[in-house]
Amino acid sequence: MTSEEKKAFLLLKSVIFHYHGLDEDEQKILEETANKYNAGEELKWANEFIATDYISAFERAREYLNKIIGRLEKEKRLAYLDLVWKANNKKGYITEMEATAMLKLAKDWEVEDELIELVKK
């Protein structure tokens, strides 16, 4: 995973977790992800991106992510969304807002049907 992909992946995960307000469990998951990918700076960047304007963070992230992740091969686009979905499950729940946000991105990235099939399993 390139540094650019790490930034995009951590922004994706972080913006979904921030959608309803970041809690302690979600912060821990983000830190574990950053440690796993040796991406502490990328996580810091993602958090600063969101903090710049919390209200518009999702739409700004969506635009950024469409440029970075949206151009990757279909399997990678789907894999990133699947990882975020699983991370949400790890905390024990997925809010309707988080699911809707991920479905919007899946539609943008033309993997909506595939994501729906994955989460049905």
Q: Residue 103 and residue 55: Cα distance in Å, rounded?
A: 19
Least trusted range by pLDDT, from 9-13, 24-28, 89-93: 89-93
pLDDT tens-digit readout, 40-85: 999 999 999 999 999 999 999 999 999 999 899 999 999 999 999 9
Where are the domains positioned within the chain? Answer: 3-120
CATH 3.40.1350, applies to 3-120 = no
pLDDT tens-digit readout, 100-110: 999 999 999 99
What are the angstrom distances between the C-alpha of 108 and each of 66, 93, 111? 7, 24, 8
Confidence of residue 19 (pLDDT cuts 50, 70, 90): confident
For residue 49 the two structure tokens come to 């991106």
Q: Residue 59 and residue 90: Cα distance in Å, rounded?
A: 25
